[in-house]
């Protein structure tokens, strides 16, 4: 029986050794997995912070660029408004000069008709004077 108990004892000893080894390996494996997950979590947290920093920096740069663009647009608007005001003044000046510089077609025809009447009147007066002068010579 001893041989049988020895074999059983040897099997139990191997079983206990196997359980201890598996327990240690399991513990080491759990420790390594937990450690790895901790590193992954820390890496994710660090990357999240970096992304947040990059996001903040990008937002600041975008704000700076928007401010510069708005400043340029404001300068262009001011310059355009000054030029528009100058053009309006020039158009108003032309409108003011229009009545004295330019003659409407109807006004021109009216004036030419009155000139024609004046020339006819002058012509008839000259004819009368010539007739009076020629009658006096005869």
Per-residue pLDDT tens for 101-112?
A: 666 778 788 888
Residues 37 and 57 in one domain: yes
Residues 94 and 137 in one domain: no
Check residue 1 and give its pLDDT: 38
Residues 94 and 118 in one domain: no
In DSSP notation, 30-74 reads HHHHHHHHHHHHHHHHHHHHHHHHHHHHHHHHHHHHHHHHHHHHH
How many angstroms separate the CA atoms of 92 and 134, rounded?
60
Per-residue pLDDT tens for 9-50?
A: 667 888 888 889 999 999 999 999 999 999 999 999 999 999
Check residue 23 and give its pLDDT: 93
Q: Is the pTM of this model over 0.85?
A: no
How many angstroms separate the CA atoms of 116 and 64, rounded?
76
Residues 13 and 74 in one domain: yes
- The domain tally of the chain equals 2
Residues 112 and 72 in one domain: no
Check residue 138 and give its pLDDT: 59
If you average pLDDT over every residue of the chain, what do you get? 86
Determine the structural domain holding residue 50 and report its residue range. Answer: 2-102
Q: Residue 2 pLDDT > 50, yes or no?
A: no
Residues 76 and 127 in one domain: no
Could you give the count of Cα atoms lying within 13 Å of 6 in the half-sphere of its Cβ?
Answer: 3
Segment (H or E) for 102: none
């Amino acid at each position: 029986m001893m041989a049988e108990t020895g074999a059983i004892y040897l099997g139990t000893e191997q079983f206990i050794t196997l359980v201890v080894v598996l327990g240690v390996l399991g513990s080491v494996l759990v420790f390594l997995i937990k450690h790895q997950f901790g590193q992954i979590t820390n890496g994710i947290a660090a990357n999240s912070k970096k992304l947040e920093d990059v996001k903040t920096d990008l937002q600041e740069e975008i704000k700076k660029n928007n401010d510069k663009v708005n400043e340029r647009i404001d300068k262009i608007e001011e310059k355009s408004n000054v030029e528009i005001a100058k053009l309006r003044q020039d158009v108003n000046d032309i409108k003011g000069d229009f009545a004295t510089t330019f003659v409407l077609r109807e006004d021109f025809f009216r004036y030419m008709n009155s000139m024609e009447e004046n020339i006819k009147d002058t012509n008839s007066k000259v004819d009368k004077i010539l007739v009076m002068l020629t009658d006096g010579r005869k």
